[in-house]
Amino acid sequence: MKRDLTSLVGLNSKEIDRLFRVTARLKRERKEGREGRYLTGKILGMIFRKSSTRTRISFEAGMIQLGGSSLFLDVGKLQMDRGESVSDTARVLSSYIDGLAIRTYDQSEVEELSRHATIPIINALTDQYHPCQILTAMFTLWEKRGRVSGLKVAYIGDGNNVAQSWLLGAAIMGIDLTVATPAGYEPESSVVRSARGIATISGAKIELMQDPVQAVAGADVLYTDTWISMGQDDESDIRRAAFQGYRIDSDLLEHANREALVMHCLPAHRGEEITSEVMDGPQSAIWDEAENRLHVQKSLLIWLMGDDGIYSAL
């Protein structure tokens, strides 16, 4: 049966835990120079309507390391931008490649590709969700703390695609999550409702508030993202004014647990949402998280594009 990753909705804790275990093995194999060629002959296509550093390079490198290959599809030179429907594109690409990662603005475009394609579709970021990033963030916590269930994460900043994927991921995995945003920048209410519904099963606590100091009290992890996402450049001055007081700095970090980790999905705007002192400090797990994008996405690629026997054998 075809599998997709359009968001974290539909995944369960057992699947994610298995993904973490496979990721840990792949990371270890890479370090020891004995990684397996689990996707030999497979081709991943990539359509990116937004710029990318970590996502594109980690997917491309991951496919090479797994024995496959990737094709970066310049959206400006595809017929999609000249009127061909998403559904027609999905049908055609399904006959050429083995999987498709797309980074775009509208979540609906990912969902439509998923409906019409016969190959796995991977959400490499939309305005609503960033599932690969939050799977990576949770794996990094699992790796460093040995568990994720019961940890407290404080997300400080914009209630954007990263925050919304955190809501879903935390709810699935039993993580207590507090999201602190300025008024008017909260996550979508529909996503909050979905997360709280899932949390009734896992026991996670989901809270929204405006006070960042209160949010980080007792937190095991402080997480943030840029205040100005792609496509919001015309709001730069308004957003910078609204988010004053939502910077992760050494003063805010003092209100969290003594050994709290600091994380950021990157790219960071040093001095805005986070200070260099914290980014480069002893509690930062930012660079581990960045590296782990490669390993988590390799695990995802095997799960989505490999056969069940390959994944079961890992």
Q: Please give the positions annotated as active site.
A: 103, 130, 133, 225, 265, 293
CA distance 156 to 161: 13
Computed on alpha carbons and rounded to an integer, the radius of gyration of the chain in Å comes to 19
**Which contacts of 207-211 are long-range, i.e. CB under 8 A and separated by 24 or more positions?**
207/177, 207/178, 207/179, 208/178, 208/179, 208/180, 208/181, 209/178, 209/179, 209/180, 210/180, 210/181, 210/182, 210/183, 211/180
| Burial degree of 33 (CB within 10 A; 0-12, 13-18, 19+) | exposed
CA distance 97 to 177: 38
Beta bridge partners of residue 155, listed in sequence order: 179, 223
Beta bridge partners of residue 71, listed in sequence order: 45
The number of beta carbons lying within 10 Å of the beta carbon of residue 40 is 11
Structure tokens at 115: 């409906």
Burial 150-183 (b: 16+ CB within 10 A, else e): ebbbbbbbbbbbbbbbbbbbbbbbbbbbbbbbbe
Our CA dihedral for 145, 146, 151, 155, rounded to 10 degrees, sits at 60
Place of tokens 């050494």: 250
Closest CA to 169 of 121, 133, 214: 133
Is the CB of residue 283 less than 8 Å from the CB of residue 144?
Answer: no
